[in-house]
Amino acid sequence: MPFAALGRYTLTFVCGMPWLRVDGDRILTQADEPILLRGVGVGGWLNMENFITGYPSTESLQREAMKQAMGEEAYEAFFRQFTESFFGDADARYLAALGVNCVRLPVNYRLLADQAEPMRVRQSGLALLDRAVATSAAHGLYTILDLHALPGAQNAHWHSDNPTHRAGFWEQRILQDQVIALWDAIAQHFSDNPAVAGYNPVNEPADPDGSVIGPFYGRLASVIRGADPRHILFLDGNRYGTDFSALGDVLPNTVYAAHDYALPGLAAGSTYPGTTRGEWFDRDVVEQTFLSRTEFMRQTGTPVWIGEFGPVYTGDPEQDDMRYALLRDQLEIYREHGASWSLWTYKDLGLQGLVTVAPDSPYVHRIAGVLAKKHRLATDSWGGDDRQIRHLLGPVEQFVADEFPDFNPYPWGAQRWIARIMREIVLGEPLVEEFGRCFAGLSPAEAAGLAECFGFAACDRNDRLAALVSDFLGARAGD
């Protein structure tokens, strides 16, 4: 069933954006000039994530907790201003100054599909996408539209707004049909817009046995092509963008997207070059991992696009020096192999962002106690350090290993499965209520003022990260 369209927007761009298409292993403009899409993901905005904006658990639980604590009026004022402030003209101008030519725009399906009427598209959601595309295009930036959170959740993690430890999307045909109908509406809406580089319909899918994703991608592509035969499809591999074995035949005008996070950039106490969790990592190992993750593209003669990558920074100078060295090696590897890429992520509270919310801002000050508790309890999977709760996790891990020695749940094994349940659910869900209470008693004006802390002018910049990226793009960021 197609979405019932609630209107169509006419967009006017201040600069022309040539159409893009896939030709063999290259992306070309309509003038047949090759282009590498090199940019950033704008995570935490139209799809929120806990480490980016500071809440525990999932976006939906955060919103519920804040609404209960603040009341409807202040809640609406906060998120109206947050949506306005997080990404705008100044942000796009800054990215263009770095030399970036593309933004990947993560979107939560709830922005577009009302739970009460799941087969209708929200006009307000389309308006936000229009604004993001137009803002980016005004500075020469293409947009890749990325559905980052799907109904039922396409993977077991927080970034798909999943409060459970199961990826229910793959278990229910009706949810798959809903997403296909949603993309039909999106494709119709943007079919004449060259500023959209293409569609990234499913972020980091995790179909446990791989039996659903291939046929689903086939149905999805057919519907999108029926509405819009021109835009590129960016299809993530299974198992969080690392496994392409179940995707079926190569589709025309399609880029297959790998995610290439390197373990030394994530694990606490890692060294680079050096040993991380008992494994040796240096530039050669990082390159071999990249080549393994993108082998499908070379075998099929399709373009290489790294949809996500990037270290987590710790604030420890020695640790971060190694992580910047790792990032430099990754960027060199991508350049040597002619890969397009999208760095994760643009703006956050200081973990990965090129732009960061000021640590002395009223917003960070208000949630400081929860941030400290999140760190102590390691409730965030991304950037979390579980060393302070090993006395809880260790015995459970050992007990499960002893009682169920063959237990190896998809996709990352028993230890990660236990961590997901204990850290992000058992500890994260009670803590999200504490986060909500940080905003109790705010007036609408006060709530909006906190959200303004996410505006570009109020934020700090990671100049070291920006200089590294701009050096590789042949640009220097200006004021």
| Average of per-residue pLDDT values in the chain | 95
Longest Cα separation, the chain? 64
pLDDT in tens, 372-404: 999 999 999 999 999 999 999 999 999 999 999
Annotation marks residue 308 as catalytic = yes
- 134 is in which domain, residue-wise? 20-473
**Alpha-carbon distance 154 to 205, whole Å?**
5
| pLDDT bracket for residue 475 (50, 70, 90) | low
- Asked if the structure places residue 318 within a domain, the reply is yes
- Asked if the structure places residue 6 within a domain, the reply is no
- Asked if the structure places residue 197 within a domain, the reply is yes
pLDDT in tens, 158-203: 999 999 999 999 999 999 999 999 999 999 999 999 999 999 999 9
**Alpha-carbon distance 238 to 125, whole Å?**
27
**Alpha-carbon distance 368 to 162, whole Å?**
25
Spell out the residues 6+ positions from residue 425 whose beta carbon is closer than 8 angstroms to its own: 57, 163, 164, 165
Q: What share of the chain has pLDDT > 90, as a percent?
A: 93
pLDDT in tens, 275-312: 999 999 999 999 999 999 999 999 999 999 999 999 99
Annotation marks residue 49 as catalytic = no
- Asked if the structure places residue 11 within a domain, the reply is no
pLDDT in tens, 47-100: 999 999 999 999 999 999 999 999 999 999 999 999 999 999 999 999 999 999
3-state secondary structure the chain: CCCECCCCCCCCCCCCCCCEEEECCEEEECCCCECCCEEEECCCCCCCCHHHHCCCCCHHHHHHHHHHHHCHHHHHHHHHHHHHHHCCHHHHHHHHHHCCCEEEEEEEHHHCECCCCCCEECHHHHHHHHHHHHHHHCCCCEEEEEEEECCCCCCCCHHHCCCCCCCHHHHCHHHHHHHHHHHHHHHHHHCCCCCEEEEECCCCCCCCCCCCHHHHHHHHHHHHHHHCCCCEEEEECHHHHCECCCCCCCCCCEEEEEECCCHHHCCCCCCCCEEECCEEECHHHHHHHHHHHCHHHHHHCCCEEEEECCCCCCCCHHHHHHHHHHHHHHHHHHHHCCCEEEEECCEECCCCCCEECCCCCHHHHHCHHHHHHHHHHCCCCCCCCHHHHHHHHHHHHHHHHHHCCCCCCCCCCHHHHHHHHHHHHHHHHHHHHHHHHCCCCCCHHHHHHHHHHHCHHHCEECHHHHHHHHHHHCCCCCC
- Asked if the structure places residue 13 within a domain, the reply is no
pTM, to two decimals: 0.95
Task: Give me the catalytic one of 308, 318, 336, 446.
Answer: 308
CB of 237 within 8 A of CB of 258? Answer: yes
- Asked if the structure places residue 111 within a domain, the reply is yes
- Asked if the structure places residue 479 within a domain, the reply is no
How far, in Å, are 20, 223, 245, 418 from residue 302 at the CA level? 14, 22, 15, 37
Question: How many Å is the Cα radius of gyration of the chain?
Answer: 21
- Asked if the structure places residue 244 within a domain, the reply is yes
CATH no. for residue 53? 3.20.20.80
Q: Is the peptide bond before 208 cis (omega within 30 degrees of 0)?
A: no
Residue 198 class from Cβ within 10 Å (0-12 exposed, 13-18 middle, 19+ buried)?
Answer: buried
How far, in Å, are 174, 222, 234, 255 from residue 211 at the CA level? 16, 18, 20, 21
Q: Count the residues in the chain.
A: 479
pLDDT in tens, 434-464: 999 999 999 999 999 999 999 999 999 999 9
Domain count, the chain: 1
| pLDDT bracket for residue 474 (50, 70, 90) | confident
CB of 379 within 8 A of CB of 56? Answer: yes
CB of 147 within 8 A of CB of 179? Answer: yes
* Whether the predicted pLDDT of 114 surpasses 90: no
Spell out the residues 6+ positions from residue 241 whose beta carbon is closer than 8 angstroms to its own: 204, 257, 258, 259, 293, 307, 308
Q: Is the peptide bond before 273 cis (omega within 30 degrees of 0)?
A: yes
**Alpha-carbon distance 465 to 377, whole Å?**
28
Task: Give me the catalytic one of 49, 59, 204, 424.
Answer: 204
CB of 286 within 8 A of CB of 330? Answer: yes
* Whether the predicted pLDDT of 417 surpasses 50: yes
